[in-house]
A and B are shown apart, each in its own frame.
Chain A
Amino acid sequence: MTWTKLDKFCLVAAIAALLALIFPLAGVDGDTGKQVAFVGDIPGLAVAMALCVIAGSAFTWLGVGSVTAGMVILAIAVFGCWQAISVLYDYGVAGYAGPGFWLFIASLWAFVWRGIDVIANFHSLDRTKQHLANFVVPVAFGVWLLFVWEVVVSGFGVPQVLLPPPSMIGERFVNSTDILAADFHQTFVKAVLSGYVMGCGSAFIVAIAVDRVPFLKRGLLPLGNMVSALPIIGVAPIMVMWFGFDWQSKAAVIVIMTFFPMLVNTVTGLNAAGKLEKDLMATYASGYWSTLFRLRLPAAMPFVFNALKINSTLALIGAIVAEFFGTPIVGMGFRISTEVGRMNIDMVWAEIALAALAGTAFYGAVAYIERKATSWHPSFRVRRH
């Protein structure tokens, strides 16, 4: 076995874990002047570190070839993460973490990286297995990032006003579901959905009309591009003046924000059908509407969905920011701006988490419909006989 064939991630993991056993686990308490914690006093952590050393050296030689090996590594990493968290909170290391602790985290990092890498490269003709692997990778990575966030914030004792640990945000999230639900209803269900449907729908219809008028088509596209580059969110105060404090003014902001991306994309898409296909329809003496529905709209769908996806993100941002300018006492944007003032940063983060979840779900839903509706498009199709 040559040097290059060694599994370097596992090697790093083993060495880091070994050093973690040697270096001090935590710093010195300022008041008592004593070392906060020793590995020797914490059997769980000692076992985890030893496991990392053994597994790391074993896999350095064996290599992590199979998914099973990847799972073993990940299982060890999960055990290690659990022990690290417990050391932080049960043994009072939070705020005092020393080189030994961080070396252990580095070792876990190498393991997780290697494990996810193996699963990410998993290819199977069995579709359920493949779907499972495709699902596990982003989830495992996301969980790992949350863990790192938690450990770094607690380990260094970062003040909560600057950045609370995810566990605290989660706790706040779970304990304020009624407030969050009310905010979600106000901002997402009322403002975002109605604004999105009105903005995208009207732009789609206008695009079909514009397409029939050559001078509009020429003149409107540069204008549309210019308008979409403007920070339209600046009109929010004006919309509040026009449409009042409630969700209608937010929906108006969203309509303005989403209108031009949809218009520009749809007009472009309507011209995406090839010349040959248009000639084909012409030889059948296909009329305007027949060609529109049978050729040009289907060919425009990838462009339309592109705009729908862009707009799903824009709409949520628009609604939240627009609420900063005046709103009844409910809504995600309202909550963020008031709780920041009260230094309730964990509540702000809970709202941000809610916005992230809602935004991801919204985008995901649009992307899913796109996949179903334009499965013929080269970017989605899978050759299956």
Chain B
Amino acid sequence: MTLKQVVNNVAEMPASKKAVVDIKKLSLTFQTADGPVYALSDVDLTIEEGDFVSFIGPSGCGKTTLLRVIADLEQATGGEISINGVTPHEAREKRAYGYVFQAPALLPWRSIERNVTLPLEIMEISKEERVKRAQEALKLVELNGFEKKFPWQLSGGMQQRASIARALSFDADLLLMDEPFGALDEIVRDHLNEQLLKLWARTNKTVAFVTHSIPEAVYLSSKIVVMSPRPGRIIDVIETDFPKDRTLDIRETPEFLEIAHRVREGLRAGHSNDE
């Protein structure tokens, strides 16, 4: 396996594919009682169709905030952002997003199946179709057989998988995942990483994925965005060139370790800037 490792300033990249997310000079300042909090500053980023982009950076650097800006849950205070050529708000109205939050956010009065069909219900899809799609989505995260259970009857990891199934149940243009596997053990995590990769390879979905784990970021991504602590900035964007049908074994290859090293260096540099 050969690896072409391209490191680029994203803004200068030739626009070969359709840009799903296009962010220019984006900044966001929270006004709080203790003065302004500069969560994001000068963020430039393009996510192309079919990209799997991982965001990695220290806690509190603005990863969640960036995802929320993309999903129109937070308003940028400066710069420009467009999703599929329209504003995030319009994209949201067009139901472009499948968002997996940091916590499962399942509705306790709905069974697992009805939690998964929630977005389909809102989108007014017929009942048979809803049940069919819920079945498929639950199968993907290996929760088939738990349809009639309630969220509190499932373990934390299972709940998180159910929330992933919910985001997969409808065909979102853009899958936004905020540390979806943070609460899971290594083995389950590896397994779900493989599943997610397969799903991505098969459906060619565009994914924005937040993680704290360097191996996870390198293994999953076609593009890794390294962020620095507050004010959140992008300090490095690393493109990887692993084949889409990669397996967990690539984690032992020199190319993999080299990229992981590069990510670590980036994170370390961000930290020293901070001091």
Contact = CB atoms under 8 A, between A and B. Distances in A.
Contact of A276 (B94, B105, B118): B105
Interface in B81-111: 92-95, 97-99, 101, 103, 105, 107-109
A303 to B, nearest CB: 14
Nearest to A274: B105
A66 to B, nearest CB: 33
Nearest to A291: B122
B95 A298 contact: no
Question: How extensive is the interface on chain B, given as a class?
Answer: 20 to 34
Contacts of B122: 281, 284-286, 290, 294
A374 to B, nearest CB: 7
A383 B97 contact: no
Given A376-B108, A383-B153, A280 B101 contact: yes
B105 A385 contact: no
A377 B151 CA distance: 11
B152 interface: yes
Contacts of B118: 284, 294
Interface string A272-306: 00101101111111100010001100100100000
Contact of B105 (A277, A285, A376): A277
A381 interface: yes
A313 B185 CA distance: 51
A377 B109 CA distance: 8
Nearest to B94: A285
A295 B73 CA distance: 17
A384 B149 CA distance: 10
Contacts of A281: 122
A319 B103 CA distance: 48
Q: Size class of A's contact patch?
A: 20 to 34
B92 A279 contact: no
Contacts of B152: 376, 378, 381, 383
From B68, B73, B93, residue with most partner A Cβ within 10 Å: B73
B121 to A, nearest CB: 7
Interface string B193-209: 00000000000000000
A277 B104 CA distance: 10
A228 B97 CA distance: 45
Contacts of A282: 72-73, 92
A279 B97 CA distance: 12
B88 to A, nearest CB: 11
Contact of B73 (A283, A301, A376): A283
Interface of A: 274, 276-277, 279-286, 290, 294-295, 298, 301, 374, 376-378, 381, 383-385
The 6 closest A-B pairs by CB, nearest first: A376-B109, A283-B99, A376-B108, A276-B105, A286-B122, A284-B119
Given A276-B105, A283-B71, 16 more contacts: A279-B68, A279-B105, A281-B122, A282-B73, A283-B99, A284-B119, A285-B93, A290-B122, A294-B107, A294-B122, A374-B109, A376-B108, A376-B109, A378-B152, A381-B150, A385-B153
